[in-house]
Amino acid sequence: MGGGILNDAIGTATLRDKNNQSLPGGGPISLTYVPASQGQYQAIFPSTVPTVVGQFVSILIELNGGVNLVYRGIINARVMENG
């Protein structure tokens, strides 16, 4: 892929609990490209995903460019607000 900006990837995000289990309704959901962002993608999880303020969660991100997996990573976060 050469390390360039990728504006046409297909990606998913999955919200997981501290035990690395997918949360109900937490995906995988499709990532969408943010127009004119030079390679930024976003996912919006439904407000119905059962989380608790202060809870630690992780988000598994996977991006594919064509037939190749170009990125797979985990973001750890703390829930700041619900809904």
Q: Which of 36, 28, 37 is nearest to 10 (CA)?
A: 28
Beta-carbon contacts of 3 under 8 Å, excluding residues fewer than 6 positions away, are none
Ranges under pLDDT 50 in the chain? 1
Q: What is the pLDDT of residue 3?
A: 63
Whole-prediction pTM: 0.81
Helix (H, G, I), strand (E, B) or coil at 7: coil
Cα–Cα distance for residue pair 28/43, rounded to 1 Å: 10
Q: What is the pLDDT of residue 1?
A: 44
Please report, for the chain, the start and end positions of each structural domain, with discontinuous segments joined by +. Answer: 10-78
Q: Which amino acid is at 42?
A: Q
